[in-house]
Amino acid sequence: MSEKEKSAGADSDPSLEWAKLWQTMAESSNRMVEAWSGSMAPFMLARLSEKPVGFGDGNELSAAIERMAQGPRVADAWDIDRKMALVFGAWIEMRQRLASYNAVAATPWAEASKRFFETVSAAGTSETPAPDWRAAFAKWSEISNEELIRNQRTDGFLQAQKELLQAGLQLRSRQDDVAEAASTMFGLPTRKDFDDVTRQLTELRREVRALARQARDRKIEGAQ
């Protein structure tokens, strides 16, 4: 059998097809990833379409960007470009972590499909008729839930998820640096300014309320 035929044979294996279908569904419903990567994606995709060369070897590209961006600063120029480059590097890193996470998260679908098809085949003998779609779906749901939960508790999954979170936060933090620089450039208050103000407000409110409580307690003591 040729390689092509072998591959076609594997693709027509119902359990593999089934696993692939559910894996795709799971990936497409990954809202967490969308939330982390969505905001800068259009911009980055546009940059990539301008300079597609080198995108394949992501590690090298992101390392080169890091080296460039972490180089010596000059006082009056290129700071925003440096920040943009850092965002780009973080975005590439996040995509790689996402790919690693998806690979780990996809593992249980194959096992779930295998178990499911074994169960269905065993049920569909001449003595026991095959279950209707609802019973079959309930069984599929039960098996895949077990496999997905088992996978979630493995060190590999937890590590991949943690690294994705770290990469997502790094990207967001670098996006914020760009936003801060742009705000400063146009004379607008930054997010850091806002955090400083709310911190002062919160602390001031605590002091005022503590004084109010002291005054109330003294009044009560005086009355007694």
- Residue 173 CB, shortest distance to other proteins, in Å, is 5
- Residues 81 and 65: their CA atoms lie apart, in Å, by 11
- Residue 108 CB, shortest distance to other proteins, in Å, is 9
**Residues of the shown chain interacting with other proteins in the complex, contacts defined by CB under 8 A:** 22, 25-26, 29, 31-32, 35, 126, 129-130, 132-134, 137, 141, 144-146, 148-150, 152-153, 158-159, 161-162, 165-166, 169, 172-173, 176, 191, 194-195, 198-199, 202-203, 205-206, 209
For residue 151, the SS3 value is helix
Residue 88: which residues within 8 A CB-CB, separation 6 or more?
44, 47, 65
- Residue 86 CB, shortest distance to other proteins, in Å, is 15
Which residue, 67 or 114, has its beta carbon nearer to other proteins? 114
Which residue, 64 or 146, has its beta carbon nearer to other proteins? 146
Token match 């569909």: residue?
Answer: 124
Which residue, 202 or 224, has its beta carbon nearer to other proteins? 202
- Residues 143 and 21: their CA atoms lie apart, in Å, by 16
